[in-house]
Chain A
């Protein structure tokens, strides 16, 4: 019961009449504690009330590597904006990046270490106990010299935190660290390795190109570094003085980039690489004059415009016209998305690289520019796990060859097809430790959960990839103090190693990062006494860059290995007579691979192309819908050789009649209140084939059939009538113009 103290009592008495007094007393009783009203005689050290401060750090919502500035008032994060001096995003930021605050202040964050009591329930435990348990198990494994039976599996981590992980692996005896990220363009890395001898992402200079030809790459929504690409796009359209750049998009279902392109070409799904080779054929035989012209013409003989027109559904006239425009303009070809997520994803990328080579775009302004070495010793104690390696890991786990699995911020159970049985395999691992911020599907399988800091609470650094043409490194720093009893990945590793008796010279991730930077600073010839100033200014700016000598390799373009060109027809899984439609799953800019589904702002953000909120849907061509008698909201059963899911139909104007598209991201069984039991996950339909050369999952290579269930739901969306009906909304009509 609330007691009334002396002062309150006098207030009560002073309030006068009994009625007024009773009312006042009630208000006093239900009022929140008064601590907030106490004037700050001793103001807190880290902020001035009423004054906003901005701290710079790095966005972690996708792997674009944008710099962000977070507005802090009274110790709380209020808004995330782009860091104006960061060369990747130059002050701008996408929707997902801005929703990072929803992750920081998410009500469903993990707040304390948890242990699974083997009855499917988690119990809170102390940090000491949790670390001790992990340390003991690692000690046992080390005593048995079985470092190969401990597996570290994380999401995408860049920068020197990887160095700390490398040290940890050495200290405690872990042989393998794999990074698994569904959105990683593994096929692009592999293709660049095969054609340019560089397994890194070059800089695609969208900003300065006059003719952008994209094969399925949704560069404005999800491809590589969307904010940087969008900055480039704005310049391409209205910033270039010579001419307004042209954008061509080849894809079976119109993406955000397709909607903004001048021309949208719905080629047969899986034939995008063939179209690239068809265009290459026209260039090689009519325009290209390089020394290896004969070799090219010879390699591309079968890809004549007439053959390719039959294969892709794009007319010969268009192929020849695009080839000419592509060759004569300062052009750039890129590929991504579903177009390169088939069984021949690498081959498709190679075909597109060939186009860039033939048009002389390599190393040119507005073309493909290779970055110089970032000048940072990058650690290589980890490998990027492709789908094939994940399957191998699942096999190992199934055969009881893994004793300890340490997970961090990766959700393979959600982003791998259920037919890959990763979940079942995990059940065989005696100890699964999840270092995670949220209870997602994979974390829920853990025996021990160690809650990690949000990215706005932890230290780190980052070298953005694709880079921007010169050396750039950014620093992640905590912008708010920890909300809960969480620790960062690096700190947990240090604590565990210490618990195991290892001498660790760094007390925290912060100390480690600072130490690494001081060594880089010294290597660059900095005066040791000036490091503190350098460090402070680097933290203030959030980014450190160095203009290096020209990285333009235009004059030294290596001959293209023409023999790498190969068959580009992607194999589609499923018999066409039984499964008449091609499934086109796509990443959305709202959820990416599902990681954004726990953010309420993202759930409430209308999908940019359909305006649907809070749900999944199946996109059908209007003609197909009429044929099948399907209307918007009809619940459809979509069946592939791998499984069946149900979702409401959405009639989409710009999709091939033989394709059905579904957004990736929803369909979480775990992941907090905003994500759970909402929509479906189309990855579950994917037949787990992979590209032979890269081992990446061919998530766009599955056929499906559709069945009307007869059930109807209201598909919640914000759009009403999506035709202008003659109203002056998009501008005066042509007639009025003239």
Chain B
């Protein structure tokens, strides 16, 4: 059984199949080097604020995409593993059940979305999220002039009291759908949408696409025998499939 089947566990009875897309991503940990190009790409694309040193000191950073580090062993056999962590767009998202005002919900593309102007800032969703990928605006952050001229006009700037997180660059998905419509196509072709992180990745570790389409690159990657989901035991059914790192002492797969 491939990982994709576990994702679909909750999607039987034609629930999502009716819809055109199920956006998903694969992260090949054997390619990922932890260089953090994706982190800056996300910051630039999604108008993430520059929060300042004191906010970092209080662990109030806002980085929709981050690289986590996990050490194994001790010197001289210490090994370091990197893993990019961002919203897993879970099918069974714990955050969605938590929100008292339904500011976070699941859309028909399989995305876990956040409605900023509905959010009242209870921060419950961040507590429920096992991946800790939801970020709260403790202040209305400002940009030192003229840094604000860089802001992406396709993405709203959030204010104090609002929760935010990775959207799979929904503005890019929207644009691709519009372009497909202009082109008289009902569906976006594979490869027409790439979120900022995957676009920048220097090792091509991130692959994005439609998991409903068995021929898409992401579906093929997700079927790799190395595929797994982070914290699978939580039954969150993420739309992100990680491909396990191959260790040097194992036979290459």
Which residues of A pack against B, CB within 8 Å? 73-74, 76-82, 89, 91-95, 98-99, 101-102, 104-107, 220-221, 226-227, 230-231, 233-234, 237-238, 243-244, 246, 254, 256-257, 259-260, 262-264, 266, 483, 589, 600-602, 604-606, 608-609, 611, 613-614, 621-623, 653-657, 673, 714, 716, 718-719, 722-724, 727-732
Decide yes or no whether B122 CB sits under 8 A from chain A. no
Segment at the A interface, from B7-15, B49-57, B98-106, B113-121:
B49-57
Name B227's closest neighbour in chain A (CB-CB): A731
* Residues on the A chain within 8 Å of B203, using CB: 230-231, 233-234, 237
- Measured between beta carbons, the chain A residues less than 8 angstroms from B223 are none
Q: For the complex, what is the distance from the CA of A238 to the CA of B29, rounded to whole Å?
A: 10
In angstroms, Cα B80 to Cα A611, docked, is: 13
Closest Cβ neighbor of B34 among chain A residues: A608
- Interface status of B246 (Cβ within 8 A of chain A): yes
Residues in B205-250 with C-beta less than 8 Å from chain A? 205, 226, 228, 230-233, 242, 244-249
- B35 near A237 (CB under 8 angstroms)? no
Selected interface stretch from B36-44, B160-168, B178-186: B36-44
Contact partners of A107 in chain B: CB under 8 A: 144-147
Bound CA span A263–B51, Å: 38
A732-B229 Cα distance, complex, nearest whole Å: 9
Q: How far is the CB of B4 from chain A (nearest CB, A)?
A: 16
**Chain B residues in the interface with A (C-beta under 8 A):** 28-31, 33-37, 39-41, 43-45, 50-51, 53, 56-57, 59, 61, 63, 66-72, 74-76, 78-83, 144-153, 196, 199-205, 226, 228, 230-233, 242, 244-249, 252-253
- Contact status B144-A101, CB under 8 Å: no
Bound complex: CA A604 to CA B56 (Å)? 8
Q: Is B150 within 8 A of A716, CB to CB?
A: no
**Are A93 and B200 also in contact (CB < 8 A) when A105-B149, A601-B44 are?**
yes
Q: Are B248 and A601 touching (Cβ within 8 A)?
A: no
Q: Which among A78, A246, A714, A730 is the interface contact of B70 at CB below 8 angstroms?
A: A730
Give Cα A230–Cα B228 distance, bound, in whole angstroms.
Answer: 24
Are A716 and B56 neighbours in the complex by a CB distance under 8 Å? Answer: yes
Residues in chain A near residue B35, CB distance under 8 A: 94-95, 220-221, 226, 230, 256, 589, 608
- Beta-carbon nearest neighbor of B242 in chain A: A731
Q: How far apart are the CA atoms of A89 and B202 in the complex, in Å?
A: 8
Q: Given A98-B44, A107-B145, A729–B83 Cβ distance below 8 Å?
A: yes
Q: Is the CB of A98 within 8 A of B244?
A: no
Bound form: Cα–Cα A727–B79 in Å? 17
Inter-chain contact A722/B30, CB cutoff 8 Å: no
Residues A92 and B74 in contact, CB atoms below 8 Å apart: no
Apart from A94-B35, A99-B40, A234-B202, 10 more pairs, CB < 8 Å: A78-B44, A226-B202, A238-B31, A260-B33, A601-B40, A608-B82, A611-B69, A718-B59, A731-B242, A731-B244
- Minimum CB distance partner of A254 in chain B: B80
Contacts of A655 in B (CB 8 A): 75
> Distance in Å from the Cβ of B127 to the closest Cβ of chain A?
16
Least Cβ–Cβ distance between A182 and chain B, in angstroms: 21
Q: A202 CB to closest chain B CB, in angstroms?
A: 21
* Residues in chain B near residue A600, CB distance under 8 A: 50, 144, 147
With A and B bound together, what is the CA distance between A78 and B70 in angstroms? 34
Q: List 21 A-B contacts (CB under 8 A).
A: A78-B152, A81-B199, A94-B35, A94-B37, A102-B147, A221-B35, A226-B202, A233-B31, A234-B204, A234-B205, A237-B31, A238-B28, A259-B80, A262-B249, A266-B75, A589-B35, A604-B43, A609-B34, A623-B75, A729-B83, A732-B228
Residue of A nearest to B31 (CB): A234
Check A724 against B70 for contact (C-beta < 8 Å). yes
Of B56, B67, B201, B226, most A-chain CB atoms within 10 Å: B56
**B150: nearest residue on chain A (CB-CB)?**
A101
Q: Is the interface of A mostly helix, strand, loop or mixed?
A: loop
Measured in the bound complex, the distance between the Cα atoms of B245 and A656 in whole Å is: 26
Contact for B80 among A99, A609, A718, A729, CB less than 8 A: A609
Alpha-carbon distance between A614 and B51 when the two chains are bound, in angstroms: 12
Question: B residues within 8 A CB of A719?
Answer: 68-69
The 8 Å CB contact of A609, one of B69, B75, B228, is B69
Q: A94-B37, A107-B145 are in contact. Are A729 and B44 (CB under 8 A)?
A: no
In the complex, which residues of chain B have a beta carbon less than 8 angstroms from the beta carbon of A221? 35
* Neighbour of B233 across the interface among A105, A622, A728, CB < 8 A: A728
Chain B min CB distance to A634 (Å): 17
A731 pairs with B50, CB closer than 8 A: no
Task: State the CA gap A724–B51 with chains docked (Å).
Answer: 28
Residues on B with beta carbons closer than 8 Å to the beta carbon of A238? 28, 30-31
**Does the CB pair B152–A230 fall under 8 Å?**
no
Complex CA gap A178/B230 in Å reads 53
Chain B residues, Cβ within 8 Å of A104: 150
- State in angstroms the CA–CA spacing of A254 and B36 once bound together: 17
- Whether A105 and B75, one on each chain, are in contact in the complex, defined by CB atoms closer than 8 angstroms, is no
Measured CB to CB, the closest approach of chain A to B173, in angstroms, equals 16
CA distance A93 to B205 in the complex (A): 13
Complex interface: chain B residues within 8 A of A621 (CB): 75
* Residues on B with beta carbons closer than 8 Å to the beta carbon of A95: 35-37, 39-40
Cβ B202 vs Cβ A263 within 8 A: no
Whether A76 contacts B80 by the Cβ 8 Å rule is: no
Nearest B residue (CB) for A262: B248
Q: Report yes or no: A76 in contact with B149, Cβ–Cβ below 8 A.
A: yes
**Inter-subunit contact A80/B44 (CB<8 Å):** yes
> Inside 8 A of A80's CB, which chain B residues have their CB?
44
- CA–CA, A74 to B56, complex, Å? 33
- Which of B200, B231, B249 is the one whose CB lies under 8 Å from A82? B200
Are B56's CB and A76's CB within 8 A? no
Q: Are B51 and A604 touching (Cβ within 8 A)?
A: yes
Cβ-defined contact, A78 with B202, below 8 A = no
- Are A605 and B204 in contact (CB-based, < 8 A)? no
Complex Cα distance A410/B45, Å?
30
Nearest CB on A from B34, distance (A): 5
What's the nearest-Cβ distance from chain A to residue B138, in Å? 15
- B53 contacts A613, C-beta separation under 8 Å: yes
Q: How far is the CB of B52 from chain A (nearest CB, A)?
A: 8
Distance (whole angstroms) from the CB of B233 to the closest CB of chain A: 6
Cα of A233 to Cα of B35 in the assembled complex, Å? 12
